[in-house]
Chain A
Amino acid sequence: MVKVNVKFSVMFKEATRTTATTVDVSGKTVKDLIDALIKQFGPQFSERLLDAKTGEVRRFINIFVNGKDIRNLQGFNTKLEEGAEVRLIPAVAGGKEFFGLTQDQIVRYSRQIILREVGGKGQKKLMRSSVLVLGAGGLGSPASLYLTAAGIGKIGIIDSDRVDLSNLQRQILHTKDDIDRPKIESAKEKLLKINPEVKVTTYNERLTAENALDVVGDWDFVLDGSDNFPTKFLINDACVLKKVPLSHGGVLRFVGMTTTILPGKGPCYRCLTPEAPPPGMIPTCEEAGVLGAVPGVIGTIQATEAIKYLLGSGELLVGRVLFFDALEMRFEEFELKRSPNCPACGKRPLIKDLSQVDYGHVCEVRF
C-alpha cells in the first residue's frame, strides 16, 4: 500500500469536486491508481477518463508521475513510490502553451478573457504591462490586490512605513501578524500568494524630488495611493515630466475622489489644484478619520482605470473628477479642463525639474 498525491485538470472537476487528492493505492502501479480513482469518484469520473469503446484511458489524457510522462516510463505499469505526485491532464494542456497562454493562465484569467474587451490578446497585453503603486495603504491595498489578480506582469510598490495596528482597519493587504514589518515586505508576500506569476518590485523608501523621476520612468502606469499633499504633487509633476499616465486618488472621512491623468492629452492634478493647501488647512486621515471601505472603493476604481488604460478599452476618467460620498451614497462627476497656466502641464510649464518645487511644505513652485 502506498499513498500518492493526485492532481486533476479542470476537466475532471465536475466528477471529483476537487483538483487534488491523496489516494491509498493497494497495488503499486499507475494502473492500480486508476482503478482506485474510478472506485473513489464513480462513473462520472470514469466517463471522462476512459474511452467508451475500448475501456482504455483516453489517448489525449496525459499522466505524469513526478513530472515525467508515463509514456517515457513504463506506461501503466509505472511503479508508484510513497508520496509520488501524479497529474492527470488533457493533451492540450500538458504544460504546453495554447496560443501563448498556459493552461493555468487560461483557467485563472478565464472570467476576464471571456470579456470582449479583454480576450486572449488583452490578457497577454496585461501580462506584458507594468504598474507602480505608490503606497501600500488604504488605496494601494485594494488596487495592488486587483492588479495582481488580473495578471499585470510587473507591479511596483513604494512605501517606507511599517505596518501598524491602526492600519488594519482599511489596509487590507496586511494582517495582525505583519505588525512592525515593512509594508512592502508584507504586501509582496500577499500579492505573490494570490498570483505567483506576477513580478513584484519593491522600494522601501519615500518618494522624493531626488528619486521620483527615476522611480516613475520605467512604468506603464502609476497609481497614486499616497496619503499626503506633497507626495500627490510630486508624483503628478514627475509623471507629467516623464509622460507616464497616472491615476490620482484621495480619501477623507466618508468621501473620496479620483481622476486619471494622461500627460499631454488631458488635465493634470495641478490643473485642478495648482498648489497644495497650507499645512493644517485640510486635515489628514490621521486627524479626521476615514471609513475603511471608502479607500476600498476609490482604490478599486483606480485599479480599474489602470487596467482599462493598459487594455486600451472604454472611457478613462480623463478630464473628469469623480467624487464619491459614502454617507449620501452618491457619485458625482465634474468636468476638469486643462489649464493653459498650469505650472506642470500648461502652455509654458514652470516646472521643468523637480528641484524647483518645495515639496516639503506647500508644493509651491519657487523661482
Chain B
Amino acid sequence: MAKYKVNRKIDIRGEVCPYTFVKSKIAMEDLKSGQILEVIVDHAPATENVPRSLGNEGHKVLEVVKIGEHEWRILIQKA
C-alpha cells in the first residue's frame, strides 16, 4: 500500500553528489506546494545529502527507504 501519492518520479541512478541534489532540486521547482517528488538513487551519500539539502530549502523529507542492495527511494514534499 502506497502511503503517499507521488506526483513526480525521477530515476537518477548513476548520478553522484552534488548532482543528485542539483537534479532533485530542479525536478522539484515546478511542482506545487504539497506535491511529492520521488527520487531513486544508487549513490549511498545521496541518501543523506539530498534529504538534508532539500530540507534546508524548506521542503519536507517524508521518507528514505532502501529498496535494493544499492538503491534507495527518497520522498520529499514540496514546501
Decide if B22 touches A58 in the complex (CB within 8 Å): no
Decide if B29 touches A99 in the complex (CB within 8 Å): yes
Q: CA of A182 to CA of B69 in the docked complex: distance in angstroms?
A: 60
Decide if B57 touches A14 in the complex (CB within 8 Å): no
> Which of B11, B13, B19, B21 has a CB less than 8 Å from the CB of A10?
B19
- Total number of B residues with any Cβ neighbor in A under 8 Å: 21
> Which of A10, A61, A91, A106 has a CB less than 8 Å from the CB of B26?
A106
Using C-beta atoms within 8 Å of the partner chain, give the interface range for chain A.
20 to 34
Q: CA of A101 to CA of B30 in the docked complex: distance in angstroms?
A: 14
Verify if A331 is at the interface (C-beta below 8 Å from B): no
Binding site for A on B (CB under 8 A): 10-16, 18-19, 21-23, 25-27, 29-30, 53, 57, 69-70
For B18, what are the chain A residues with a Cβ–Cβ distance below 8 Å?
Answer: 110, 114
Decide if B70 touches A52 in the complex (CB within 8 Å): yes
Of A21-29, A116-124, A289-297, which binds chain B? A116-124
Verify if A113 is at the interface (C-beta below 8 Å from B): yes
Report the tally of A-B residue pairs with Cβ distances under 8 A.
Answer: 62
* Residues 85 to 100 of chain A near chain B (Cβ within 8 Å): 90-92, 98-99
**Contact A114-B21, Cβ < 8 Å, known A99-B27, A120-B26:** yes
For B26, what are the chain A residues with a Cβ–Cβ distance below 8 Å?
Answer: 98-99, 101, 106, 113, 119-120
Decide if B15 touches A11 in the complex (CB within 8 Å): yes
For A107, what are the chain B residues with a Cβ–Cβ distance below 8 Å?
Answer: 19
CB distance from A68 to the nearest CB of B (A): 20
Verify if A304 is at the interface (C-beta below 8 Å from B): no
For B57, what are the chain A residues with a Cβ–Cβ distance below 8 Å?
Answer: 116
For A10, what are the chain B residues with a Cβ–Cβ distance below 8 Å?
Answer: 15-16, 19
Known: A58-B14, A92-B11, A98-B26. 7 other contacts (CB 8 A): A10-B15, A11-B14, A13-B16, A106-B22, A107-B19, A114-B22, A120-B26
Q: CA of A101 to CA of B53 in the docked complex: distance in angstroms?
A: 20
